[in-house]
Amino acid sequence: MNIVKAGVISTSIVIILGFAMITPLFINIPTKTPQNILLFFYITDDSNVTDWCHDLSILLDEKGFRATIFFSGIIAEQHPECVTFFDEGIDIGSQTYSYTNLTSIDDYTRQLEEIQKGKQFVDDAGNLESRLFRVPIGYTDENIYSLLSRSGILADFSYKTHYNKFHDGQFLLFNTTFIDGLTISSSTLRNIDNPSIIFFDNSIPVMIIRNALSHLISSNTRFINASDLTGLELIIRNGEDP
Amino acid sequence: MLEEQGFESIPDSDAILSQERVQEITYDGRIRVSTKAWVLRIVALTGIAVTLVLNLHQGLKLGDPLVVYSTLMPTHELVVFAIGWLFYRCRASGLVTNELVSVIIPIFNQVEMIETVIDAIYKSTYEHIEVIAVNDGSSDGTKEILDELVYAYPGLRVIHKENEGKRKAVATGFYASKGRYIVLIDSDSVIDINAIEEFIKTFSANIKVGGVVGNGKVWNAGTNFLTKCQDVWYDYAYNIHKTTESVFGCVLCCSGCLAAYRREAIEEYIPYWIQARIHNSDDRDLTSYALATPWAKRELAPLKQKLMESMALYDDAEDRGLTAQTLVEWETVYVPSAVVYTDVPETLGKYLRQQIRWKKGYVRSNFYVSAFFWRKNPLMALLFYTEFMTTFTAPLIIFIIYFYGPFIIHNYWIPITYVTGQVLIGLTAGLDYKFRYKNTRHWMYKPFMNVFASVVLSWLILPALWTYRKNRWLTR
């Protein structure tokens, strides 16, 4: 082959290869990763449950937020209408029956009963099957995995630094961050992990929650519920098959 | 440096040669460095390797579209540093024979330095030399000085010719010479007294070596910021990059300031070489010819002739062209103990014009070398093709790093990471210089020079391609 032709070919290959390594950057312009936020609501005070849940459901519906709310069995038993306020897009979780510290109960059977009974009342109140859980008061231990798997729970949000997802007969750990809703400010979105869980309890007036949530709304924010996060169907409504 | 030593203008050869000059070579051919330097080297190599692996891992994990490119670049740096530091051996280990050496100085308008340059040659420890000064139509009084020098140095042959460019000046000297070895020295370069002897020792020790390049030092390094930057840049180019190329016997450019060839390695090429229309990198052309593969040799009649005819059309790669000639069937090596002091541009304008000229020669010469270089050692080929590729892609990469990354896709890590990498690599090379030449104060300019080279010099490929037909005699 003529050396000039060989030079043209080799130089062309060099140049084409060089630019071929770079051009994907321009072809696949990365879209900014959306900031996933999970809104968690806990019922810890039984004094204003119905009004608070009603106002909250209106707020979430009005904004189109997907969220997750946890009830204890006794609240669901006493205020079943509260569970029904929350419809599509809102995951319902349980928190034992009597909202008690699970680790303070010595007997495993009684612990299991607390969880299963709490779940049962939530399920009955909402005519659904709830498969997500969070311990009351934040106290838990290693027994939790055995208790939850025996109670039909698929996702556990009991810890402050991670959540557990049931997969292939065991709970797998995934990191996340819990943020107190009262600490939210206009700079929160710039400093939080992705995903982050922002929680409120019913001691906080819905008006304050509304103001707090306004800081989180941006074109890049995506509000997701526990089912979206885990990729599991954590709520089956109206007796639908899982 | 010279100002610090009290020089006001061009110093004489004794003053230049009195500078800290020669790196110590160990008995087994290594460039001697301190334990500190080895600690730095090991840390640097480990750091680059770890960065390379992490970058690859993260890039694949995150689907980074630049993962291949951003892996290739540190791989190149790793190979250059590792090979040069760990495997280089100086080959100047043969006997000092008594072969005639022809020293050719192509000269154009060099009234200030020519006496110093010739004086240094005659101080050489190797005395069996003939010196041929070819005046390529100088109009600044060089001719008159040369005529006077003939009386001062009786063995000096001076040839005056009309101005036709460096290649024809070299060829004129070549045809007038009788020596088995040809030493080419730029008319602004002052050789160390041992330089020619070191070349002879290299040729006599290795019959396959067809071309040798000396260790280029900047004698006007202390003049200003720009020359200090070039000083440390020269050190990297010679004592790290060329050592690596030398390990493979493939130094791609036996620089014009001081190079030597076996007569038989280049004599067939000279007739083609002198037909050059454009003069930019004669030394690279010669070296490239020398390094070409047996494939080129087998295709000799039609191919070698066409290669040389094609390369000789332009004079912007005279050194590379000669080297390329030698590459056909010979090895080309670097000899750090053969020191030459050369001057570098002292103004930015001159420096940029020089760089554009070199860039033109680089592209033209490598256009041909790329046709056969893939048959050389795979690691050396990787270095060659990576550098050749980067020459073309560098402007786009710089655009991505400093504009597209931060302002379009809002990824500020791209410029931060890149500049940090450049600075760290520069610091490594600078400190290595410091450890080899303990009195140097210019080592700290290397990080800046790295960033400057990427941000400014990489764009010169555009004017180089745009003006590649223009023909100038060096920077004058």
Percent residues over pLDDT 90 in chain B? 54
Interchain contact, B303 vs A3, CB within 8 Å: yes
SS3 B269: coil
> Rounded to whole angstroms, what are the CA distances from B376 to B26, B242, B251, B285?
28, 16, 12, 17
User: Is residue A188, in this structure, part of any structural domain at all?
Assistant: yes
Let me know whether A230 and A148 are in one domain: yes
Cα–Cα nearest to B227, from B420, B474, B451, B3: B3
Interchain contact, B397 vs A22, CB within 8 Å: yes
B431 phi and psi angles, rounded to 5 deg: -65, -35
In chain A, the residue whose alpha carbon lies closest to the alpha carbon of B304 is A3
Q: Identify the residue among A1, A4, A14 best suited for mutation to test binding to B, counting B beta carbons within 10 A and taking the highest.
A: A14
Q: Is the dihedral of CA B299, B305, B308, B313 positive or negative?
A: negative
Per residue in B116-136, pLDDT tens? 999 999 999 999 999 999 999
For residue B68, the chain A residues in CB contact (below 8 A) are 21
Q: Is the dihedral of CA B127, B202, B81, B370 positive or negative?
A: positive
Compute the nearest-CA separation of B398 from chain A (Å).
11
Cα–Cα nearest to B80, from B407, B451, B387, B412: B387
Whether B231 has a pLDDT exceeding 80, the answer reads yes
Q: Is the dihedral of CA B159, B161, B166, B171 positive or negative?
A: negative
Q: Identify the residue among B303, B370, B376, B391 best suited for mutation to test binding to A, counting A beta carbons within 10 A and taking the highest.
A: B370
CA distance linking residue B375 with residue B293, whole number of Å: 7
Let me know whether A146 and A70 are in one domain: yes
Residue A59 one-letter amino acid? L
Q: Is A27 touching B (CB cutoff 8 A)?
A: yes
Q: Is the pTM of this model over 0.95?
A: no
Percent residues over pLDDT 70 in chain B? 82
CA distance linking residue B22 with residue B227, whole number of Å: 20
For residue A27, the chain B residues in CB contact (below 8 A) are 65
Q: Mean pLDDT over residues B232-252, rounded?
A: 94
B261 phi and psi angles, rounded to 5 deg: -135, 150
Whether B274 has a pLDDT exceeding 60, the answer reads yes
Compute the nearest-CA separation of A190 from chain B (Å).
14
CA distance linking residue B59 with residue B45, whole number of Å: 21
User: Is residue A242, in this structure, part of any structural domain at all?
Assistant: no
Q: Mean pLDDT over residues B441-466, rounded?
A: 92
CA distance linking residue B359 with residue B21, whole number of Å: 28
Interchain contact, A22 vs B367, CB within 8 Å: no
CA gyration radius, chain B? 22
Interchain contact, B370 vs A10, CB within 8 Å: yes
pLDDT (0 to 100) of residue A187: 74
> Rounded to whole angstroms, what are the CA distances from A168 to A68, A142, A165?
24, 18, 10
Whether A49 has a pLDDT exceeding 60, the answer reads yes
CA distance linking residue B252 with residue B384, whole number of Å: 9
Interchain contact, A7 vs B371, CB within 8 Å: yes
CA distance linking residue A73 with residue A77, whole number of Å: 6
Cα–Cα nearest to B217, from B167, B271, B260, B255: B255
Q: Identify the residue among B288, B404, B409 best suited for mutation to test binding to A, counting A beta carbons within 10 A and taking the highest.
A: B409
Q: Identify the residue among A2, A10, A31, A33 best suited for mutation to test binding to B, counting B beta carbons within 10 A and taking the highest.
A: A10
Peptide bond into B154 cis (omega under 30): no
Could you tell me the pLDDT band of residue B340, with boundaries at 50, 70 and 90? very high
User: Is residue A43, in this structure, part of any structural domain at all?
Assistant: yes
Q: Is A205 touching B (CB cutoff 8 A)?
A: no
CA distance linking residue A64 with residue A33, whole number of Å: 21
Q: Is A219 touching B (CB cutoff 8 A)?
A: no
CA distance linking residue B290 with residue B206, whole number of Å: 15
Let me know whether A56 and A147 are in one domain: yes
Interchain contact, B390 vs A27, CB within 8 Å: no
For residue B299, the chain A residues in CB contact (below 8 A) are 3
Task: State in Å, rounded, how far the first CA of chain B is from the last one.
Answer: 23
In chain B, the residue whose alpha carbon lies closest to the alpha carbon of A13 is B389
For residue A10, the chain B residues in CB contact (below 8 A) are 370-371, 374
Q: What residues make up the domain containing A1?
A: 1-30
Q: Identify the residue among A21, A31, A194 best suited for mutation to test binding to B, counting B beta carbons within 10 A and taking the highest.
A: A21
Per residue in B17-34, pLDDT tens? 555 556 788 888 888 888
Interchain contact, B303 vs A2, CB within 8 Å: yes
Percent residues over pLDDT 70 in chain A? 95
Shortest CB distance from B69 goes to which of A11, A15, A22? A22
Could you tell me the pLDDT band of residue A237, with boundaries at 50, 70 and 90? confident
Cα–Cα nearest to A30, from A220, A228, A223: A220
CB contact at 8 A, B183 and B104: yes
Q: Is A17 touching B (CB cutoff 8 A)?
A: yes
Shortest CB distance from A24 goes to which of B65, B370, B385? B65
A51 phi and psi angles, rounded to 5 deg: -65, -40
Structure tokens at B177: 């010479």
Angle between helix B67-87 and helix B413-436 axes, rounded to 10 deg:
10
CA distance linking residue B109 with residue B188, whole number of Å: 10
CA distance linking residue B103 with residue B131, whole number of Å: 5
pLDDT (0 to 100) of residue B5: 41
Q: Mean pLDDT over residues A45-73, rounded?
A: 92
Interchain contact, A11 vs B367, CB within 8 Å: yes
Residue B337 one-letter amino acid? S
Cα–Cα nearest to B206, from B335, B31, B83: B335
Per residue in B310-336, pLDDT tens? 555 555 556 776 676 666 678 999 999
Q: Is A4 touching B (CB cutoff 8 A)?
A: yes
The total of other beta-carbon atoms located within 10 Å of residue B194's CB is 18
pLDDT (0 to 100) of residue A220: 77
Mean pLDDT of all residues in chain B?
A: 84
Whether B48 has a pLDDT exceeding 80, the answer reads yes
Structure tokens at B62: 């995150």
The total of other beta-carbon atoms located within 10 Å of residue B169's CB is 29
Q: Mean pLDDT over residues A177-186, rounded?
A: 87
Let me know whether A199 and A94 are in one domain: yes
Question: What is the count of structural domains for chain A?
Answer: 2
* Pair type for strands B156-161 and B281-282: unpaired
Let me know whether A121 and A146 are in one domain: yes
Q: Mean pLDDT over residues A95-99, rounded?
A: 91
Q: Mean pLDDT over residues A1-24, rounded?
A: 85
Interchain contact, A24 vs B66, CB within 8 Å: yes
Compute the nearest-CA separation of B33 from chain A (Å).
37
CA distance linking residue A41 with residue B397, whole number of Å: 49
CA distance linking residue B243 with residue B23, whole number of Å: 13
- Lowest mean pLDDT, pick from A3-7, B29-33, B348-352, B361-365: A3-7
Whether B459 has a pLDDT exceeding 70, the answer reads yes
Per residue in A109-120, pLDDT tens? 999 999 999 999
CA distance linking residue B20 with residue B341, whole number of Å: 11
* Pair type for strands A155-156 and A162-167: antiparallel
CA distance linking residue B203 with residue B331, whole number of Å: 11
Interchain contact, A7 vs B72, CB within 8 Å: no
Cα–Cα nearest to B205, from B116, B86, B97: B97
Let me know whether A52 and A131 are in one domain: yes
Could you tell me the pLDDT band of residue B365, with boundaries at 50, 70 and 90? confident
Q: What angle do CA B75, B77, B79 make, to 5 degrees?
A: 70
pLDDT (0 to 100) of residue A102: 85
CA distance linking residue B155 with residue B130, whole number of Å: 7
CA distance linking residue B386 with residue A175, whole number of Å: 41
Q: Identify the residue among A12, A23, A25, A26 best suited for mutation to test binding to B, counting B beta carbons within 10 A and taking the highest.
A: A25
Q: Mean pLDDT over residues A203-213, rounded?
A: 91
In chain B, the residue whose alpha carbon lies closest to the alpha carbon of A15 is B389
Could you tell me the pLDDT band of residue B298, with boundaries at 50, 70 and 90? very low
Whether B461 has a pLDDT exceeding 80, the answer reads yes
Residue B170 one-letter amino acid? V
Interchain contact, B400 vs A22, CB within 8 Å: yes
Of residues B344 and B319, the one with the higher pLDDT is B344
CA distance linking residue B283 with residue B295, whole number of Å: 22
For residue B372, the chain A residues in CB contact (below 8 A) are 6
Mean pLDDT of all residues in chain A?
A: 87
pLDDT (0 to 100) of residue B12: 62
Question: What is the count of structural domains for chain B?
Answer: 1
Q: What is the DSSP string of B128-155?
A: -EEEEEEEES--SSHHHHHHHHHHHSTT
> Rounded to whole angstroms, what are the CA distances from B374 to B291, B292, B363?
12, 10, 17
- Lowest mean pLDDT, pick from B77-86, B240-249, B269-278, B288-297: B288-297
In chain B, the residue whose alpha carbon lies closest to the alpha carbon of A29 is B409
Shortest CB distance from B306 goes to which of A3, A8, A18? A3
Q: Mean pLDDT over residues A146-171, rounded?
A: 89
Exposed e or buried b per residue across B44-72, where buried means at least 16 C-beta atoms within 10 angstroms of its C-beta: bbeebeebbeebbeebeeeebbbbebbbb
Could you tell me the pLDDT band of residue B406, with boundaries at 50, 70 and 90? confident
Q: How many residues does the structure list for chain B?
A: 476
Whether A239 has a pLDDT exceeding 60, the answer reads no
Q: What is the CATH number of the domain that holds B156?
A: 3.90.550.10
For residue B390, the chain A residues in CB contact (below 8 A) are 18
Q: What residues make up the domain containing B471?
A: 1-476
Q: Mean pLDDT over residues B249-269, rounded?
A: 89
